[in-house]
Structures are given as C-alpha cells and as structure tokens.
Structure 1
Amino acid sequence: MTSPIGGILPVGVGAITGVAGATEGVPQAQNADGFAAVLAASFDKLQGTQAAADELAAQAATGDLKDVHDYMIARNEASLATEMVVTFKNKAVEAFNEIMRMPV
C-alpha cells in the first residue's frame, strides 16, 4: 500500500520524520517554476486518488467488488489527500496575505 500523502506534500517537507514515504516522489524545487511543478503534481496525485476511489465505488455499487475493504481504504486515502491539499492551499494563502501586509 502506498502512502496517501506520498505525492502531495509541499516543498521543504524533508524535515518531517517518521512518516513512511513522506517525501517519496516529491521533486525538489529550486525556483518558482519548481514550486508550480510540485503544486501541479499534488493536484494530479489528488485527482488520481479520487478517481481510483470513485472506480471502486462504482464496482461496489454494481456488485463487482469482491472486498469492500479496498473501497473503504481508497476512500479514506482520497479523503486524507483532499484534506492535505486544502490545508496546504490555505497555508499558502495565509503566507501570501502575511507577505502582502509587510511594510516596505
């Protein structure tokens, strides 16, 4: 099983320890283009996680899913990924607003 937050962590999360796969697949950004690439990859990963959960939900609804636990795990991973991306977005907006309030 892969970590649900493996591909959606922001730049600089290498300081996080104890989370399996926390920085796995996260490119190191050196400039604004790198940050944008990490952000775009985060949204792509989120979309893929949600699509996989939706596919398993459709299988469960039609009776084709053999183990409902697979769906429950996928849905929880998608939920955690969504929560992580929303939190990251909120923190980025807060940081931007704080920078804009700084006197010049």
Structure 2
Amino acid sequence: MSINGIEAIAGFTPLAAPVVQAPAPAAPAVQGADFGSLVLDGIERLEGLQDSADGLAVRAATGTLPNIHDYTLAAAEAETATKLTVAVRNKAIEAFSEIMRMQVG
C-alpha cells in the first residue's frame, strides 16, 4: 500500500506488523511456608505473648514479681500484637469480601 507523498521520502520503509513472541517460561515457584502455616504460627506466637503477660499479671498481683515493669512491657507487647492481628484479620476479610463481589465474565 502506498500513500501519496510518502514514497518520495528517501530511505522510507513501511511499518511492518509487530511479531508476537511466545511468553518466556515462568520461573519455578519458590518453596516456602504456605499462607495457612504462617497464619497459624502467628496466632500461636500471639497466644504465647498473651499467656506470658497473664502469668506476669498473676505474679504482680501476688507480689512475687520483683519488677512490675516486666509485666507492663509484656502486657503492652501482647496488646500491640493483638491489635495487629485483628487489623490483619479485618483486611483479609475485607479483601475476601471484595473478591466475592467481583463479577466474572
């Protein structure tokens, strides 16, 4: 196909159709812990923090804890971990709900 005026330009070559190449093979998946294992591990660690804080609370209440700040730190750590876990759970539920609202097709 020729367009008037363009063929007169020296060195002009018409645009060729692009060549589509096959996609490169996917890289092998990295083996690691699956999502469920990570969630269970996180919950178990949270439970450990809460149990530790509860044990220190009992010791503080009975007077056998020499440094009350040990309990304060453990309680703050358990509270922060609980808030983080709840926030992650809420985001996961929100993402799941959003996926369920998506229309296929």
Common fold by TM > 0.5: yes
Greater percentage in helix: 1
Match for residue 43 of structure 1?
A: 43
Structure 2 unaligned blocks of 5 or more: 1-31
Query: How far, CA to CA, are the matches of 1:103 and 1:56 in structure 2?
Result: 51
TM-score, scaled relative to structure 2:
0.68
Q: Please give the root-mean-square deviation of Cα atoms over the aligned residues, in Å.
A: 0.8
- CA offset at residue 72 of structure 1? 0.2
Structure 1 unaligned blocks of 5 or more: 1-27
Q: How many residues align?
A: 73
User: Which has the higher relative contact order, 1 or 2, with Cα contacts under 8 A spaced 6 or more apart?
Assistant: 1
Match for residue 73 of structure 1?
A: 73
Letter in 2 for 1:64: T
CA deviations on 1:38-85 (whole Å, 9 max, x unpaired) are: 000010000000000000000001100000000000000000000000
Match for residue 97 of structure 2?
A: 97
Query: How far, CA to CA, are the matches of 2:82 and 2:63 in structure 1?
Result: 27
- CA offset at residue 94 of structure 1? 0.2
Query: How far, CA to CA, are the matches of 1:88 and 1:37 in structure 2?
Result: 15
Kindly, what percent of the aligned residue pairs are identical?
A: 48
TM-score, scaled relative to structure 1:
0.68
Structure 1 stretches of at least 4 aligned residues deviating more than 2 Å after TM superposition: none
